[in-house]
Amino acid sequence: MGGIKIVTDSTADIPKRVREQLGIEMIPLKVIFGTDSFLDGISISNEQFYERLTSSSTLPTTSQPSPVEFTEAYERLMKKFPDSAIISIHLAAVLSGTFQSAIIGSTMMEQAGDVTVIDSKSVSYGLGMQVVKAAEMANAGASKDEIVAAVEAIQQDMKMYFLVDTLEYLQKGGRIGKAAALFGSILNIKPILKLDKEGEVSAVDKVRGTKKAMQRIIDLFKADFGNDPIEMTVGWTHKRELALELAALAQAQLNVHHIRQTDIGSVIGTHAGPGAAALFITRV
């Protein structure tokens, strides 16, 4: 049986029911509290993770899957679906070695297989959006080249902006500088963050107060998309209400044709911290 099979990692933050419906294979990263290691989204739930994160005195660490884990996943799929090709889409290479592990894993298969590994240059549902599109196209019978082209188009078009309660977690995790972390902790200044084209976290603006910061994000999206029809995913770490308030603002002011919701898992939550809210938008 041929066709295209889609693989990703747990940082895509795709709800389990969506993965199962579309037949997406997910390889989990790990989150580690001291001597306790958990598989992201499998052996620790998001709720359990954030409870532990907010009560822990030290920041957990995260770990990428090994090449062997990717090899085993690819070989399992090839055995189940002979003559199929695999498209494996992963967390931005600038943020994690997951992409490189997938590359190495694809070269370690006992029998050569048709495996294409893609750097999403994104994270959370910026990655998830690419994976879901790829899986939908694969299930509709699209070719590998068509799917790869569509994924690359999303990478060029997709924008994401996010707010965090505190920059402490990004700073401790080495994702943003100490000076920026200090600035974000004073005078109720709310930094508006984004991922650049390679997936690095960068500051877009600094606004005083959460309400003004949320409106600034909508204004940025207006500049990006105007009145073009868009699809939007709203994501959150622990505090759903803030994210839904941001999404409601977007729905009132942008031409939203489709909206998804997702809670952001433990690996991304380790770096973003509790209380982050994000919008991921691309044209329909």
Task: Give the chain's domains with CATH numbers.
Answer: 4-29+64-156 (3.40.50.10170), 158-283 (3.30.1180.10)
Write out pLDDT tens, residues 19-55.
999 999 999 999 999 999 999 999 999 999 999 999 9
What mean pLDDT comes out for the span 63-84? 96
What mean pLDDT comes out for the span 52-63? 91
The residue assigned the tokens 């963050």 is 193
H/E/C letters for each residue in 44-80?
ECHHHHHHHHHHCCCCCEEECCCHHHHHHHHHHHHHH
Q: Does the pLDDT at position 182 exceed 60?
A: no
Q: What pLDDT sits at residue 181?
A: 47
Q: Is the pTM of this model over 0.85?
A: yes
Lowest mean per-residue pLDDT among 13-17, 126-130, 205-209, 257-261: 205-209
Write out pLDDT tens, residues 145-176.
999 999 999 999 999 999 988 777 776 655 55
Write out pLDDT tens, residues 80-136.
999 899 999 999 999 999 999 999 999 999 988 899 999 999 999 999 999 999 999
Q: What pLDDT sits at residue 13?
A: 97
Q: What region, left, alpha or beta, does residue 166 occupy, with left being phi > 0 and alpha being psi -120 to 50 degrees?
A: beta
8 A C-beta contact, residue 264 and residue 272 = yes
The amino acid sitting at 261 is Q
Q: Does the pLDDT at position 225 exceed 80?
A: yes
Neighbours of 157 (CB within 10 A): 15
Q: What pLDDT sits at residue 59?
A: 86
Sign of CA dihedral 199, 177, 9, 72: positive
Q: What percent of the chain has pLDDT over 70?
A: 93
Q: What pLDDT sits at residue 198?
A: 86
Sign of CA dihedral 119, 139, 20, 162: positive
8 A C-beta contact, residue 33 and residue 56 = yes
Distance between CA atoms of residues 207 and 154, nearest Å: 29
Q: Please give the C-alpha separations between residue 110 and each of 76, 105, 114, in angstroms, as whole numbers.
A: 11, 11, 13
Q: Could you give the 3-state DSSP secondary structure of residue 116?
A: strand
Q: Does the pLDDT at position 185 exceed 80?
A: no
Q: Reduced to 3 DSSP states, what percent helix, strand and coil does the chain have, rounded to the nearest 5?
A: 45, 25, 30
Write out pLDDT tens, residues 186-208.
567 788 899 888 888 888 888 88
Strand partners, 90: 119
What mean pLDDT comes out for the span 225-246? 96
Q: Please give the C-alpha separations between residue 101 and each of 27, 71, 118, in angstroms, as whole numbers.
A: 11, 9, 12
Q: What pLDDT sits at residue 174?
A: 57
Residue among 139, 158, 132, 123 nearest 18 (CA): 132
